[in-house]
Amino acid sequence: MAQKILIVDDEQDIVELLKYNLEKEGYKCYTASNGEEAVAKAKDKKPDLVLLDIMMPKMDGIEACRLIRKEDSLQGIFIAFLTARGEEYSEIAGFEVGADDYITKPIKPRVLTSRIKALLKRKKEDVESNELVVGDITIDRSSFDVVLRGDRLILPKKEFELLYLLASKPGKVYTRESILNKVWGTDVSVVDRTIDVHIRKIREKIGNERIQTIKGVGYRFVV
Q: Which of 109, 124, 139 is the last residue of a domain?
A: 124
- 112/148 same-domain check: no
- 216/108 same-domain check: no
Read off the CATH number of the domain in which 196 is found: 1.10.10.10
Nearest CA to 69 among 90, 100, 45?
Answer: 100
Nearest CA to 27 among 49, 45, 53, 52?
Answer: 49
- 191/135 same-domain check: yes
- 27/86 same-domain check: yes
Determine the pLDDT at residue 34: 94
Strands laid side by side in the 218-221 sheet: 174-175, 218-221, 211-214
Q: Which of 104, 124, 144 is the last residue of a domain?
A: 124
| Backbone CA torsion sign across 162, 163, 164, 169 | positive
Whole-model pTM? Answer: 0.61
Q: Which of 71, 106, 124 is the last residue of a domain?
A: 124
Domain count, the chain: 2
- 105/57 same-domain check: yes
- 198/97 same-domain check: no
Read off the CATH number of the domain in which 118 is found: 3.40.50.2300
**Are 35 and 54 contacting, i.e. CB atoms less than 8 angstroms apart?**
no
- 104/34 same-domain check: yes
Determine the pLDDT at residue 49: 93
The domain of 99 spans: 4-124
- 30/112 same-domain check: yes
- 108/16 same-domain check: yes
Count helices and strands (H / E) in the chain: 8, 12
- 99/189 same-domain check: no
| Per-residue confidence in pLDDT tens, the chain, 223 aa | 789 999 999 999 999 999 999 999 999 999 999 999 999 999 999 999 999 998 888 899 889 998 998 887 787 788 988 877 655 556 667 777 777 788 878 888 888 888 888 878 766 555 445 778 888 899 988 788 899 988 999 888 889 989 999 998 888 899 888 888 888 775 455 666 788 889 999 999 999 999 999 988 899 999 8
Determine the pLDDT at residue 127: 45
- 116/140 same-domain check: no
